[in-house]
């Protein structure tokens, strides 16, 4: 049985294909301006990578993410919170707290031992703690999104950045640059500032180990280390690309739904 | 006497007209729930008529809060109204937002509980009937004493005698005796300022009647345990509470009302007729209902999600039946009912265990799928226990949701925002 998950987020679209519970292929592409086109492109690429000729080869597809209502080939759509929980749990069954840091929101998800959502807290009102924040800072610091992580790890004396708002933090960063503060220390300070925000979110659901990050920002190792330092617990690295957790969860749910339909018939 | 001589009755009369209109719409209905509503509205109109007549004729009447042993007023044949009632009435909805703005323009802080803010405004704007005396309330929140302070500084109200029963901190025997003595003082106060005498036989009679009402309420709540639940948000807790507190405390009419309510629910349970066609989510709403904009949210919950409010804070019946075998015991049990058992008072005055125990019992008894703490902006004391409630729900393996709203002001968190938030939550939790 081949099933698929498609997660159309604000920054990237992800498609995952699974066969009999095993990962077949996955793809991550920019979302662009048309979610339905991004979803189609991501799925076509995933099909090609899996060596499948057409979407007809897939038994069932579940959509998720901000653009989930615009995925024309999805049989149904499921909340990305549920999908990230399921995806992260599949990748690492000991995980009980998932911090999903996406392009435009950030969520702390508490999950039970079966990967179901027990509780969640969400910041979808501002850019703090999201990919957009890091993108804005990378632009100001001219270091690229990927450069943030390594700079953060180099920072020995993190600068004090009191603001978590991307607009005000940018002003602070410019002031610090003009004051001659080391770039690595500024970047580390930014990560500490965001860690405070994530900490507040995680406290709302309770921080239970294992803890992992998912979403695009989960690839920022510097952030994981700062969070570990703040929490005093290890932040686990997911064994697969953390950015596909949502699409993977959607595919897992598609598998369950498809099996249930088969059993019923 | 004309209304012009009693400007404080202008709003009160318009509220009565609104209820009259509502009454006219249900009085000939064949629908059992409407027939019950007709009785409730008759009680309500009776209260309005009695208070208005007292003002016009100069007869004594009392302004009280809730859970101020209303059986005392029944026994003394004293009309009473709840000084904070207006914001909770459906009739107030057309004025509510303007009233909130007027209260704010008066300088009342927007962080103050809107129920208190509005009540202060109604006193200051001369929109509440001026009583012979006031039975105040020093619990469950700090807001109520603020209203007392306003009363004491208002030129029309400041000379009205006020009694505030002093609530003990603990729930032990000594505390119970202390509060029973406070209630006796309250009775003396009412005698002194209304000219009515308390006949202990009549008090016993009223309490025995209210015992019947609370026993029937318990029976009704047993019926709400059924799947599907026979009633949702629109019939149950709020009406039961109003009948026992505002309209017919310890009066036979109220007892008959409960019998009718049970008859309706029994029929629905026997025939497996639920509040909605397909009940998909059974929810516990752990606070007051959003009275200021109730129709903007609660019907949607039922229609969109099949989410039935099986229980709410004020529908939850933990009231002790009062032992009337001796006068002393009667006062003690009356104290217990009004201080230790009363909703919101029990939780907010007491220890956090009361929140936890209520959740645990209701989740289990009513097969609850989700606990919703509305997070009314004024209920800061309750919101301080969100973490504990969340932990409790996690142990019970039932989702817990804290919303953050104003029960009276739909602008604080708009119905659309709340719908989005709730939908997201239900979806994420796999509910419905």
The answer regarding whether domain B1-206+275-432 maps to CATH 3.40.50.1370 reads no
Out of B391, B394, B428, closest to residue A79 by CB: B428
User: For the residues B92-114, what does the mean pLDDT come to?
Assistant: 91
Out of B390, B400, B430, closest to residue A82 by CB: B430
The verdict on A82 touching B (C-beta cutoff 8 Å) is yes
pLDDT tens, residue by residue, B395-406 = 999 999 999 999
**What does the DSSP 8-state code read for residue A50?**
T
What residue of B is the nearest CA neighbor of A83?
B428
For residue A30, give every residue at least 6 positions away whose Cβ sits within 8 Å of its Cβ, in sequence order, or none.
A11, A12, A13, A38
Domains A1-92+243-265 and A93-237 share a fold: yes
C-alpha–C-alpha distance, residues A200 and A204, integer Å:
7
Q: Which of A62, A66, A76, A79 best probes binding to B when mutated, by most B CB atoms within 10 angstroms?
A: A79
Task: Using an 8 Å CB-CB cutoff, list chain B residues near A82.
Answer: 427-430
Superfamily grouping for domain A93-237: ATPase, nucleotide binding domain (3.30.420.40)
Task: Using an 8 Å CB-CB cutoff, list chain B residues near A110.
Answer: 394
Task: Using an 8 Å CB-CB cutoff, list chain B residues near A118.
Answer: 394, 397, 399
Task: Using an 8 Å CB-CB cutoff, list chain B residues near A120.
Answer: 425, 428
Smallest CA–CA separation between A204 and chain B, in Å? 7
pLDDT at B349 (0 to 100): 80
pLDDT at B1 (0 to 100): 45
- Look at B427 and A82 and tell me if their CB atoms are within 8 Å: yes
- CATH architecture for segment(s) A1-92+243-265: 2-Layer Sandwich (3.30)
Residue A224: its H or E element: helix A221-231
- How big is the A-B interface in CB pairs under 8 Å? 32
C-alpha–C-alpha distance, residues B336 and B338, integer Å:
6
C-alpha–C-alpha distance, residues A151 and A108, integer Å:
25
Smallest CA–CA separation between A43 and chain B, in Å? 24
For the stretch A174-194, what's the b/e string if a residue is b when 16 or more beta carbons lie within 10 angstroms of its beta carbon? eebeeeebbbbbbbbbbbbbb
- Find the angle CA(A157)-CA(A163)-CA(A168) to the nearest 5 degrees: 120
C-alpha–C-alpha distance, residues A60 and A74, integer Å:
8
Residue B330 dihedral angles phi and psi, to the nearest 5°: -60, -45
Q: Which of A85, A87, A117, A124 best probes binding to B when mutated, by most B CB atoms within 10 angstroms?
A: A117
Lowest mean pLDDT among A127-136, B175-184, B230-239: A127-136
DSSP characters over A128-167: TTSHHHHHHHHHHHTS-HHHHHHHHHH-SS-------SHH
Smallest CA–CA separation between A20 and chain B, in Å? 24
Provide the residue ranges of all domains of chain B, joining segments of one domain with +.
1-206+275-432
* CA proximity to A18, closest of A263, A260, A264, A256: A256
Out of A117, A205, A206, closest to residue B429 by CB: A117
- pTM for this entry: 0.86
- Look at A116 and B399 and tell me if their CB atoms are within 8 Å: no
For residue B399, give every residue at least 6 positions away whose Cβ sits within 8 Å of its Cβ, in sequence order, or none.
A118, A119, B369, B370, B371, B393, B425, B429, B431
ipTM confidence score = 0.71
SS (H, E, C) chain B: CCHHHCHHHHHHHHHHHHHHHHHHHHCCCCCHHHHHHHHHHHHHHHHHHHHHHHHHHCCCCEEECCCCCCHHHHHCCCCEEECCCHHHCHHHHHHHHHHHHHHHHCCCCCCCCHHHHHHHHHHHCCCCCCCCEEECCCCCCCHHHHHHHHHHHCCCCCCCCEECCCCCCCCCHHHHHHHHHHHHHHHHHHHHHHCCCCCHHHHHHHHHHHHHHHHHHHHHHHHHCCCCCCCCCCCCHHHHHHHHHHHCCCCHHHHHHHHHHHHHHHHHHHCCCCCCCCCCEEEEECCCCCHHHHHHCHHHHHHHHCEEEEEECCCCCCCCCCCCCCHHHHHHHHHHHHHHHCCCHHHHHCCHHHHHHHHHHHHHHCCCCEEEECCECCCHHHHCCHHHHHHHHHHHCCCEEECCECCCCCCCCCHHHHHHHHHHHHHHCCCC
Out of A82, A204, A206, closest to residue B428 by CB: A82
pLDDT tens, residue by residue, A175-233 = 887 888 888 888 888 888 888 888 888 988 888 999 999 998 888 888 899 899 888 89
Task: Using an 8 Å CB-CB cutoff, list chain A residues near B429.
Answer: 82, 117
* CA proximity to B218, closest of B308, B285, B315, B323: B315
pLDDT score of B94 more than 70 = yes
pLDDT tens, residue by residue, B283-334 = 999 999 999 999 999 999 999 999 999 999 999 978 889 999 999 999 999 9
The SS3 assignment for A249 reads helix
Give residue ranges of B with CB < 8 Å to any A CB. 390-391, 394, 397, 399-400, 424-425, 427-430
Q: What is chain B's mean pLDDT, rounded? A: 94
The verdict on A78 touching B (C-beta cutoff 8 Å) is yes
Task: Using an 8 Å CB-CB cutoff, list chain A residues near B421.
Answer: none
Provide the residue ranges of all domains of chain A, joining segments of one domain with +.
1-92+243-265, 93-237
What residue of B is the nearest CA neighbor of A86?
B428
What residue of A is the nearest CA neighbor of B423?
A79
Out of A81, A204, A206, closest to residue B428 by CB: A81
Q: Which residue has the tokens 């397909």?
A: B278
Q: What percent of chain B has pLDDT over 70?
A: 99
What residue of B is the nearest CA neighbor of A85?
B428
């Amino acid at each position: 049985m081949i099933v698929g998950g498609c997660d159309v987020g604000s920054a990237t679209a992800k498609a995952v294909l699974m066969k009999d519970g095993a990962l077949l292929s996955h793809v991550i592409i920019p979302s662009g301006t048309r979610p339905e086109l991004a979803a189609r492109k991501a799925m076509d690429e995933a099909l090609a990578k899996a060596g499948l000729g057409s979407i007809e080869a897939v038994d069932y597809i579940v959509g998720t993410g901000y653009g989930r209502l615009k995925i024309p080939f999805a049989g149904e759509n499921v909340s990305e919170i549920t999908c990230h929980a399921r995806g992260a749990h599949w990748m690492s069954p000991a995980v009980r707290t998932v911090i999903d840091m996406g392009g435009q929101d950030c969520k702390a998800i508490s999950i039970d031992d079966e990967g179901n959502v027990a509780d969640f807290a969400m910041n979808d009102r501002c850019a703090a703690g999201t990919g957009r924040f890091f993108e804005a800072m990378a632009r100001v610091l001219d270091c690229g999104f990927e450069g943030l992580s390594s700079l953060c790890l180099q920072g020995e004396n993190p600068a004090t950045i009191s603001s978590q708002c991307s607009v005000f933090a940018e002003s602070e960063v410019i002031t610090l640059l003009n004051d001659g503060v080391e770039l690595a220390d500024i970047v580390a300070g930014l990560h500490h500032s965001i860690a405070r925000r994530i900490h507040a979110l995680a406290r709302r659901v309770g921080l239970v180990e294992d803890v992992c990050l998912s979403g695009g920002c989960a690839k920022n190792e510097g952030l994981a280390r700062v969070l570990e330092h703040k929490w005093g617990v290890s932040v686990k690295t997911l064994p697969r690309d953390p950015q596909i957790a949502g699409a993977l969860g959607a595919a897992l749910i598609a598998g369950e739904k498809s099996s249930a339909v088969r059993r019923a018939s | 006497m004309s209304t012009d001589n009693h400007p404080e009755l202008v709003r009160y009369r318009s509220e009565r007209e609104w209820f009259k209109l509502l009454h006219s719409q249900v009085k000939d209905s064949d629908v059992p729930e409407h027939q019950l509503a007709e009785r409730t509205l008759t009680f309500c109109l009776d209260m309005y008529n009695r208070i208005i007549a007292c003002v016009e004729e100069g007869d004594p009447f009392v302004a009280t809060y809730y859970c101020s042993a209303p059986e005392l007023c029944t026994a003394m044949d004293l009309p009473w109204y709840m000084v904070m009632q207006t914001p909770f009435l459906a009739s107030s909805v057309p004025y509510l937002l303007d009233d909130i703005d007027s209260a704010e323009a008066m300088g009342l802080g927007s962080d103050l509980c809107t129920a208190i803010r509005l009540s202060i405004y109604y006193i200051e704007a001369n929109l509440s009937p001026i009583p012979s005396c006031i039975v105040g309330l020093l619990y469950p929140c700090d807001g109520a004493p603020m209203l007392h302070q306003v009363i004491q500084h208002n030129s029309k109200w400041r000379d009205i005698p006020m009694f505030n029963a002093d609530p003990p901190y603990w729930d032990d025997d000594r505390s119970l005796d202390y509060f029973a003595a406070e209630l006796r003082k309250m009775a003396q106060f009412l005698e002194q300022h209304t000219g009515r005498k308390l006949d202990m036989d009549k008090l016993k009679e009223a309490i025995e009647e209210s015992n019947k009402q609370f026993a029937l309420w318990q029976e009704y709540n047993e019926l709400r345990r059924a799947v599907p639940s026979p009633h949702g948000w629109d019939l149950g807790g709020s009406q039961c509470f109003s009948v026992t507190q505002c309209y017919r405390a310890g009066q036979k009419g109220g007892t008959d009302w409960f019998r009718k309510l049970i008859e309706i629910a029994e029929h629905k349970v026997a025939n497996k007729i639920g509040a909605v066609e397909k009940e998909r989510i059974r929810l516990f709403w752990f606070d007051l209902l959003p009275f200021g904009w109730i129709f903007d949210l609660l019907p949607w919950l039922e229609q969109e999600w099949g989410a039935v409010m099986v229980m709410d804070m004020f529908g939850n019946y933990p009231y002790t039946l009062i032992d009337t075998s001796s006068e002393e015991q009667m006062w003690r049990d009356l104290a217990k009912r009004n201080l230790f058992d009363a909703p919101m008072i029990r939780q907010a005055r007491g220890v956090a265990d009361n929140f936890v125990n209520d959740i645990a019992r209701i989740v289990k008894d009513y097969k609850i799928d989700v606990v919703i703490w509305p997070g009314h902006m004024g209920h800061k004391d309750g919101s301080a226990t969100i973490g504990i409630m969340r932990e409790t729900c996690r142990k019970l393996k039932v989702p817990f949701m804290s919303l953050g709203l104003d029960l009276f002001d739909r602008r604080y968190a708009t119905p659309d925002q709340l719908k989005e938030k709730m939908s997201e939550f239900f979806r994420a939790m796999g509910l419905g």
